[in-house]
């Protein structure tokens, strides 16, 4: 079983908890998530199954949209409502105008330091494990991008907001820094991830829904197969010879190509190998074999992630399975 599942994560469960549940439900060993979502957060998480786990470099770097709530008045050691207060509780808050001014300070390219309690690793160890041992680590700031940050409602001490941000953004750190700028402290009190690039939470499934569909043998209703993934990259259908070369990791020549097709309507008018960096390579039967690059100044296409090393054989039902 290979593909991606869109999961709607509930509160209290970790991303790894979701991975373990899906692994058991599908009886699959190769299961992984494409981006951590904190236990207190809800919403969209992408789960890779089988060969799709090898696509982590692409799906882990997508932009995200979050809806959340900041509670002003005091900061916490985890930067969210699950932590212990680290400042005195204050009940004097900035005006709505000032809050809007502060929020706008965080738009654009900014530097951010991860929360001390996070899964980010330092010398191979997660920060939260070091924090539990009272070990303070001074991490360098990372560069992130906040495409937009908007106040939906300000009802002191609560700020309801929505933001679109780059991969690697810690919304808890954002809430913590906004609280500092407000002069009264603050922490993240609620968070939902609604979008990951073109994927939306409304298209996702709960673990309970997936469990029910598995029992009814309706896996195709929640699993996006390999062939539908990464549609932003042009699709190249190969000849049998080209498919064989690709499975062996060998360069593909233009003579091995049967067809080139782009999902983008703008590119369909001029489908070619020019100015394209990454391609999806398919067998004549329509199976995704590999991802490949065209090197500058070279005519050939070079596979860099081979997903199918042997041709699939047809079954009596007309389906294809790997040897």
pLDDT tens figures, 51-74? 999 999 999 899 999 999 999 999
Tens-digit pLDDT profile for residues 76-86: 999 999 989 99
Query: Quick check: is 38 catalytic?
Result: yes
Domain boundaries, the chain: 3-61+199-225, 64-196, 230-322
Rounded to whole angstroms, the Cα distance separating 123 from 223 reads 36
Burial (CB < 10 A; 0-12, 13-18, 19+), residue 216, is: exposed
Class of domain 3-61+199-225: alpha beta
| pLDDT score, position 124 | 58
Closest by Cα among 40, 74, 68, 67 to 186: 74
pLDDT at 115 (0 to 100):
79
* Two structure tokens written together for 76: 């916490």
Strands 31-33 and 108-112: unpaired
What confidence tens digit (pLDDT) does each residue in 188-204 have?
999 999 999 999 999 99
Q: What is the pTM of this model?
A: 0.85
Per residue in 273-287, pLDDT tens?
A: 444 589 999 999 999
Q: Which residues of 125-146 are buried (b: 16+ CB within 10 A; e: fewer)?
A: eebeebbeeeeeeeeeeeebeb
pLDDT at 141: 80
What per-residue confidence (pLDDT) applies to 267?
A: 45
Note the pLDDT of residue 319. 43
| Higher-confidence position of 295 and 318 | 295
The yes-or-no verdict on residue 317 having pLDDT over 50 is no
Give yes or no for residue 94 having a pLDDT over 80: yes
> What is the pLDDT at residue 275?
46
Q: What is the pLDDT of residue 187?
A: 97
Summarised one tens digit per residue, pLDDT across range 102-131 is: 999 999 999 998 877 666 655 556 555 544
The pLDDT of 36-58, averaged and rounded, is: 94
Band of residue 296 on the pLDDT scale cut at 50, 70, 90: confident
Give the domain 64-196 fold.
Answer: Pseudouridine synthase (3.30.2350)
Return the structure tokens found at 133: 């041992």
CATH topology agreement for domains 3-61+199-225 and 230-322: no
Helix (H, G, I), strand (E, B) or coil at 60: coil
Residue-level pLDDT at 265 = 47
Q: Give the class (CATH, top level) of 230-322.
A: mainly beta
Measuring CA to CA, which residue among 249, 236, 259 is closest to residue 306?
A: 249
pLDDT of res. 305: 94
pLDDT, one tens digit per residue, over 208-260 is 999 999 999 999 999 999 999 999 999 999 999 999 999 999 999 889 899 88
The reported pLDDT for the residue numbered 321 is 45
Output Rg (C-alpha) for the chain, integer angstroms: 23
Q: Are 175 and 186 in contact, with CB atoms under 8 Å apart?
A: yes
User: What H or E segment, with its residue span, contains residue 72?
Assistant: strand 64-72
pLDDT at 310 over 90: no
**pLDDT one-digit tens code per residue, 132-148:** 656 666 667 889 999 99
Nearest to residue 259, comparing CAs of 245, 242, 277?
242
| pLDDT, mean over the chain | 87
| H/E run at residue 24 | helix 15-26
DSSP-derived 3-state class of residue 311: coil
Q: Which residues contact 114 (CB under 8 A, 6 or more apart)?
A: 120, 127, 139, 142, 170, 173
Q: Which residues contact 24 (CB under 8 A, 6 or more apart)?
A: none
316 pLDDT band, cuts 50/70/90, is very low
Q: Answer with the residue of higher pLDDT: 144 or 268.
A: 144
Average pLDDT over residues 151-163: 97
- Beta-strand (E) ranges in 55-185? 64-72, 108-112, 121-122, 125-126, 142-155, 158-165
Q: Which of 2, 38, 80, 256 is catalytic?
A: 38
- Residue-level pLDDT at 294: 84
């Amino acid at each position: 079983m290979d593909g991606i599942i869109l999961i709607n994560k509930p509160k209290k469960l970790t991303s790894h908890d979701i991975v373990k549940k899906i692994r058991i439900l599908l009886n699959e060993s190769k299961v992984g998530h494409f981006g951590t979502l904190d236990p207190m957060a809800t919403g969209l998480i992408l789960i890779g199954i089988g060969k799709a786990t090898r696509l982590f470099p692409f799906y882990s770097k997508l932009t995200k949209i979050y809806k959340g709530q900041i509670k002003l008045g005091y900061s916490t050691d985890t930067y969210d409502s699950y932590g212990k207060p680290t400042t005195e509780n204050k009940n004097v808050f900035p005006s709505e105008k000032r809050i809007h001014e502060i929020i706008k300070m965080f738009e654009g390219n900014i530097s951010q330091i991860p929360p001390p309690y996070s899964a980010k690793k330092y010398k191979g160890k997660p920060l939260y494990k070091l924090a539990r041992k009272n070990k303070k680590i001074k991490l360098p700031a990372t560069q992130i991008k906040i495409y937009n940050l908007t106040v939906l409602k300000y009802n002191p001490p609560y700020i309801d907001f929505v933001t679109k941000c780059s991969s690697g953004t810690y919304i808890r750190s954002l809430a913590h820094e906004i609280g500092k700028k407000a002069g009264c402290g603050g922490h993240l009190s609620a968070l939902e991830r609604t979008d990951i690039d073109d994927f939306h939470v409304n298209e996702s499934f709960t673990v309970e829904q997936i469990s029910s569909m598995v029992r009814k043998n309706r896996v195709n209703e929640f699993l996006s197969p390999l062939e539908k993934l990464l549609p932003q990259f042009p699709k190249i259908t190969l000849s049998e010879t080209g498919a064989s070369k690709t499975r062996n990791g060998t360069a593909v020549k233009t003579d091995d190509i049967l067809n080139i097709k782009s999902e983008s309507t703008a590119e369909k008018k001029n489908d070619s190998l020019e100015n394209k960096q990454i391609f999806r390579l398919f067998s004549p039967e329509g199976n995704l074999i590999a991802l490949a690059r065209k090197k500058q100044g070279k005519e050939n296409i070079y596979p860099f992630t081979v997903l199918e090393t042997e041709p699939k054989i047809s079954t009596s039902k007309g389906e294809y399975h790997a040897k």
